[in-house]
Amino acid sequence: MSKLLIIGAGGVGKVVAHKCAQLRDVFSEILLASRTKSRCDEIAQEIFELQGIRIKTAALDADDPKNTEKLLAEYQPALVLNVALPYQDLAIMDACLAQRIPYLDTANYEPPDTAKFEYHWQWAYRERFEQAGIMALLGSGFDPGVTNVFCAYAQKKLFDEIETIDILDCNAGNHGHKFATNFNPEINIREITQPGRYWERHGEDGQGEPAGEAGEGRWKQIEPMSMRWDYDFPEVGVKAAYLLYHEEIESLCRNIKGVKSIRFWMTFGDSYLKHLEVLQNVGLTSIKPIEYQGQQIVPIQFLKALLPDPASLAKNYTGKTCIGCLISGTKDGKRRKVFIYNVCDHAACYQEVRSQAISYTTGVPAAVGAAMMVTGKWNRPGVHNIEELDPEPFLELLGKHGLPWQVQELPV
Ligand code: NDP
């Protein structure tokens, strides 16, 4: 039985708090801390109403490691589960090192002033975590997270050799708004307005940027949203998916032996893309500060203030998400192709924890990853991406706690 500190009380933090509270035999006590304490208190009250369980709350500005260090020294949790924003990752890791407390997150560090999603800042902590004898688990959400674990499972059980991985993320839900993002708008829009990038081991045409820390392959770059694939998703049907850069490619190309190509695709409707194009064209998605009436404002932060809070979409959300990995390769000398996936229903998530499926599919794996760590099933000092750990016990718990998954055999 272990004490848990959750940092961040947004859409994902709320699901994590609910799910960890449900895991009564794993977490003896939960403290939910975030910049705005009233949001923690609202979640605590809701958990009490739905589950009859009391969790503690605290105000914390995690941008300064000293604040987190002080809270850790007082509370002494068995684990810090970070679901604040990617900007806080390094500061929270510093505090964990100082107090020798294990760490888990769902998104890699991003510097606030450049939209860059790379692991090297966090991988640079490897030796310090190893020497401190504590584990940091990176990317325990859905993508990154479950998708990485699906790849590790495919490597362990389904294939002798994996050749290609296509991660396909489909949200076929409807929240009734003309334009809204399903998780933090600033982080989401920074991610999808980047040039598309994918990874290939053999850049046969000699094109592309050498992958550096991301193994021996090459990065191929394309214009944002310029590659489309109409994919037939189980339970959801055909949806238009667009190639994006996503952070899990960087770790999977190192950890899935022999893989030759990894790409990431996300579905968007025409209306979403039209709104995004207009917002970009008028400069509202920019992260460069501008002067407005004697004040510096960052356009994307102003836009965030105008858009619906992702957590508020939950109540009237209908439809399903389908996220999975399409993997091809060989098994026992024969070619094989599978789609390993989960389908999640927005309304069912609202019924259970008053959240929509994007927050739910991120929060459940974070809670399950935390359970794996505090029960000692995963205990490897250092900084690790989730596919480096044994996938089977994680997937077993994941299915039990709300995200069942399937393997679909496909013709080769
Ligand atoms: P929200 O914006 O809804 O919530 C973020 C929370 O972090 C808010 O409660 C916010 O506080 C708090 N916060 C921000 N800055 C600080 C700070 N300096 N100190 C303490 N708390 C702070 O985001 P989401 O819940 O949608 O996303 C949370 C994380 O999950 C993000 O890192 C996101 O990238 C990641 N994510 C990962 C996914 C995956 O599949 N791997 C998918 C979706 C999200 P306040 O209330 O004051 O603003």
Diameter of the chain by CA atoms? 68
The C-alpha atoms of residue 47 and residue 103 are separated, in whole angstroms, by 24
The C-alpha atoms of residue 318 and residue 315 are separated, in whole angstroms, by 9
* CA 225 to centroid of ligand 1, rounded, Å: 25
The C-alpha atoms of residue 375 and residue 379 are separated, in whole angstroms, by 9
Q: In this structure, how many other beta carbons lie within 10 angstroms of the beta carbon of residue 167? A: 26
User: Ligand 1, atom 46: nearest CA belongs to which residue?
Assistant: 36
* CA 158 to centroid of ligand 1, rounded, Å: 35
Residue with tokens 């709300």: 402
- Is there a contact between 119 and 385 (Cβ–Cβ < 8 Å)? yes
Amino acid of residue 51: Q
Average pLDDT (218-238) is 95
Residue 205 has pLDDT above 70, yes or no: no
For residue 186, what pLDDT is reported?
83
CA atoms 144, 150, 151, 156: torsion sign: positive
Average pLDDT (338-365) is 97
Amino acid of residue 393: P
* CA 181 to centroid of ligand 1, rounded, Å: 13
For residue 209, what pLDDT is reported?
74
Q: Which of 85, 110, 137 to mutate to test the pocket of ligand 1 (most atoms within 8 A of CB)?
A: 85
For residue 232, what pLDDT is reported?
98
CATH 3.30.360.10-classified regions of the chain? 146-358+405-410
User: Ligand 1, atom 31: nearest CA belongs to which residue?
Assistant: 85
* CA 138 to centroid of ligand 1, rounded, Å: 15
Q: Which atom of ligand 1 is nearest to the CA of 183?
A: 26
Tens-digit pLDDT profile for residues 229-287 = 999 999 999 999 999 999 999 999 999 999 999 999 999 999 999 999 999 999 999 98
- Is there a contact between 354 and 43 (Cβ–Cβ < 8 Å)? no
The C-alpha atoms of residue 57 and residue 186 are separated, in whole angstroms, by 25
Q: Is the minimum distance from the CB of 62 to ligand 1 under 6 angstroms?
A: yes
Q: Which atom of ligand 1 is nearest to the CA of 188?
A: 34
Could you tell me what percent of the chain has a pLDDT over 70?
97
Q: Is the minimum distance from the CB of 42 to ligand 1 under 6 angstroms?
A: no
- The residues, any chain, with a CB within 8 Å of residue 46's CB and separated by 6 or more, are 14, 18, 354
Locate 140 and state its tokens: 């325990």
Q: Is the minimum distance from the CB of 299 to ligand 1 under 6 angstroms?
A: no
Selecting from 3.40.50.11540, 3.10.20.30, 3.30.360.10, 3.40.190.10, what CATH number does the domain 146-358+405-410 have?
A: 3.30.360.10
- Of 411, 404, 405, 410, residue with least CA distance to 338: 410
Q: How confident is the model at residue 213 (pLDDT cuts 50, 70, 90)?
A: low
Tens-digit pLDDT profile for residues 98-155 = 999 999 999 999 998 877 788 999 999 999 999 999 999 999 999 999 999 999 999 9
For residue 216, what pLDDT is reported?
73
CATH 3.40.50.720-classified regions of the chain? 2-138
Q: Which of 16, 83, 94 to mutate to test the pocket of ligand 1 (most atoms within 8 A of CB)?
A: 83
For residue 383, what pLDDT is reported?
98
Q: How confident is the model at residue 175 (pLDDT cuts 50, 70, 90)?
A: very high
Residue 204 has pLDDT above 60, yes or no: no
Superfamily holding 2-138: NAD(P)-binding Rossmann-like Domain (3.40.50.720)
